[in-house]
Structure 1
């Protein structure tokens, strides 16, 4: 009798990677002109060429597009050609790492690379529109992969159930995926597992700050003005609006209205549609199949918004949220009646309560939103879920007690020192904070962390002055956790 075969540990499921906002490369369909995400040269061109930002504005047809549009006659003015392969950055949204590492991680646990399918999409447009396109693409991918598996005898010999779908979605990609599975119950039934990483199920207060960019600045720069003007036209940005109680009015905390969003610089109609979707989701009870959420914690995160008394069109972000009872009522201080405020932390973009639905298994990780998809612990967790291994509990404990990193969310200007802030650590001993070029890999020098005398929370800080315009990667390494990283752009001064 021969020796029984020992098969490699592989999943036969079809895998689909869905990126977040800004995570797909876009080009002009008619001319082939790159509009978004090809390389750093394109980024710097976008910052200096108003026409590029203007080309990304959504027109009336694009603003109205929904799931029915996608099924009937998909839009063609701009097309998504692939996932980001280079780091990217914008004010408020900050840094976004490419998706190469997660694609490689999944390709390492499947029988053949074609089992892994990226889903680039035009993130400017509505979540519902892109959800319909994803449903169609995922069904086609699953059917192709099932045919491929059936045609290879050794894969069939390895046994196992008929291939199903495994989705890995980052940020807004999780909302697109939820829309796809809601719209197509048969696709949901063919889905084994969904992994969401930093998905803002309840929205993100940062989206409001992006719409409000120029309002609170005496002399907003060209980049700030260009980003706000573009964001105000995009259904995708409005679909990230917070649906939870986030507007701090002192003794009351209210949900945003379409009028609020319009006053802060957004589009009233797009806001009304997004907020209505939040209300529908609160009532629907839809559950993502096999859902596992990877949630960032311990990073300074805007959770609440507060209007400025002197000018109600200006809104400021606050690093606290409000506790609510099971029935949705605010928890208040018994003596004063003031709503209880609590720093729920998050991943620097999505606060922890928003990244969970309440029905999934949750893993926590110390990491920044835009760099989570190349975070070693996140990649390890994705591989383990793909192989159906038991989930670990060593990514954090959800308490928010860990290393946090904060960089200027509007970037920096050449010659002006940047303040980099580290939270959650008692001492700078054995801690390394470094900066290097994200475009060339050119290393910089380690920075000296010191206690910031102007802060009462015990934070550490360091100063960094760039010697050239570039996209820089800031890395915080404690030696005890996977490094926390963030991207920050340094540009020439505006003319």
Structure 2
């Protein structure tokens, strides 16, 4: 038996094992990065201590800023070294969770570890660039897998005995990278060699949060981490590729598209925004073979925005269109606003391309980590034609600050909660997960609310379990209240 085999010592493979090769593609900030010029790891290092230093020290994330050479296409200074293995906090994005559980889940469905490719990439770069790299890596991976002894064994125990193909499992931005990789211009045969694409919370039509990040704190004091993120992303092509491509800007009694001049006005790059719009337009013609979406729902999510004086005000609701493309209006001919929700980062309709969708009440990072999402991935990788739980509303919505001050109380709010019995909340210090702090939900102005206090600086996870068995989580960073503020940075 091959030394990589993970299915025990029996000669026969389990019936559920696929002969296909699986490519796991992480989201933005989901790959660890290494600076080749300094020899230092610059993103994805474990531990709250590193996170606090990265977001507060003057040189903390300096290596991640795009250089002129990189903007002109001369890349290689920063190398992606692997998928995220530790929880990492980022302002606005509520943290990125490790992909260990996702990879381990895929491992239970393949014939050998060699069937899995963990595709790490420099998420600062344009999605188009990473798509080309993924196309090449996927082709190399499939060719090598088809020559592997375990591939022949897996084919022999399947009913159809077909040759192995590719299955992409992509989280967030990873879905955009996967779609770019399947552009026939890169590899005309790659689509035909792909059995399926599973996307987990992918913002196919963009996210308002990308615009908020670019505009945050311009001319006003804000917490240092948020301002540092804005400065880092201002010239980052990857972030601009996540800008909303749907009609997202409220303008009087209408809603229009975000323009390159809008992006420049809020602190981004007009050129990068223009490139992103062209890229997304061209991507619409690309078909994702066997595409199935796992989409987070029920979480309050920004859907559109107002721009005034270079500042952005996000809104948790948006318009809907009639069949002729006009906006739905009320009897006074005013635009009606609908709260569609989503996963807290990507609103639901931005993450859906086809009718084959599994809706789960999860936040963005958890869409690639929660047990319910992993169960859906397993069924799809194993070629189940009816993956995941049925569509429908479940769980609850979680709203909490992403940055709090250690030692000071703060509140989290839960939406779509009918009763408090059976609802549990806790706050866990990830450096000491054995001692979670239990929180008591109460009604406050008709909303289920809990008060929490992080006793010391560090990274914490909120866990909310609802009576119907769903768990909703979010990462929160607790900073030293005496620490540096943004206005001291410059």
- Same fold by TM-score, threshold 0.5 exceeded? yes
Alignment map for 1:334-483 (pairs within 5 Å) = 335-357=331-353, 359-392=354-387, 394-397=389-392, 400=393, 402-409=395-402, 411-453=403-445, 458-483=446-471
Distance 2:374 2:75 in 1: 34
CA deviation after TM superposition for structure 1 residue 5, in Å: 7.0
**Distance change in 2, residues 1:44/1:442 (3 Å):** farther
Distance 1:322 1:198 in 2: 21
CA deviation after TM superposition for structure 1 residue 401, in Å: 5.7
User: Given that residues 36 and 43 in structure 1 are in contact (C-alpha distance below 8 angstroms), is that contact kept between their aligned partners in structure 2?
Assistant: no
Unaligned ranges ≥5, structure 2: 1-10, 485-490
User: Given that residues 377 and 395 in structure 1 are in contact (C-alpha distance below 8 angstroms), is that contact kept between their aligned partners in structure 2?
Assistant: no
Moved more, 27-36 or 113-122: 27-36
Distance 1:394 1:332 in 2: 34
Alignment map for 1:282-297 (pairs within 5 Å) = 284-297=284-297
Distance 1:222 1:264 in 2: 18
Distance 1:254 1:153 in 2: 54
1:173 correspondence with 2:144: no
Higher helix share: 1
Partner residue, 1:69: none
Distance 2:324 2:311 in 1: 31
What SS does the corresponding residue of 2:123 show, helix, strand or coil?
coil
Distance 1:162 1:330 in 2: 48
Partner residue, 1:237: 239
Distance 1:384 1:131 in 2: 26
What SS does the corresponding residue of 1:9 show, helix, strand or coil?
coil
Distance 1:117 1:279 in 2: 29
Distance 1:178 1:337 in 2: 39
CA deviation after TM superposition for structure 1 residue 59, in Å: 1.5
Distance 1:393 1:154 in 2: 28
Moved more, 91-100 or 386-395: 386-395
Distance 2:133 2:153 in 1: 33
1:11 correspondence with 2:18: yes
Distance 1:48 1:349 in 2: 24
**Distance change in 2, residues 1:488/1:147 (3 Å):** same
**Distance change in 2, residues 1:361/1:23 (3 Å):** same
User: Given that residues 365 and 395 in structure 1 are in contact (C-alpha distance below 8 angstroms), is that contact kept between their aligned partners in structure 2?
Assistant: no
Distance 1:430 1:97 in 2: 26
CA deviation after TM superposition for structure 1 residue 484, in Å: 0.7
Distance 2:122 2:323 in 1: 37
CA RMSD of superposed structures (Å): 1.9
Distance 1:13 1:236 in 2: 30
What SS does the corresponding residue of 2:39 show, helix, strand or coil?
coil
Distance 2:93 2:378 in 1: 27
User: Given that residues 396 and 414 in structure 2 are in contact (C-alpha distance below 8 angstroms), is that contact kept between their aligned partners in structure 1?
Assistant: yes
Partner residue, 2:6: none
Runs of 4+ in 1 over 4 A off after TM superposition: 4-7
What SS does the corresponding residue of 2:311 show, helix, strand or coil?
strand
Partner residue, 2:58: 50
What SS does the corresponding residue of 1:261 show, helix, strand or coil?
helix
User: Given that residues 381 and 391 in structure 1 are in contact (C-alpha distance below 8 angstroms), is that contact kept between their aligned partners in structure 2?
Assistant: no
**Distance change in 2, residues 1:450/1:5 (3 Å):** closer
**Distance change in 2, residues 1:286/1:157 (3 Å):** closer
**Distance change in 2, residues 1:129/1:152 (3 Å):** closer
Paired residues, number? 468
Distance 1:127 1:59 in 2: 17
**TM-score w.r.t. length of structure 1:** 0.91
Distance 1:143 1:32 in 2: 32
Partner residue, 1:33: 40
Residues 255-297 of structure 1: CA deviation (Å, up to 9, x unaligned) = 100111111121111111112223334xx43221110000110
User: Given that residues 235 and 270 in structure 1 are in contact (C-alpha distance below 8 angstroms), is that contact kept between their aligned partners in structure 2?
Assistant: yes
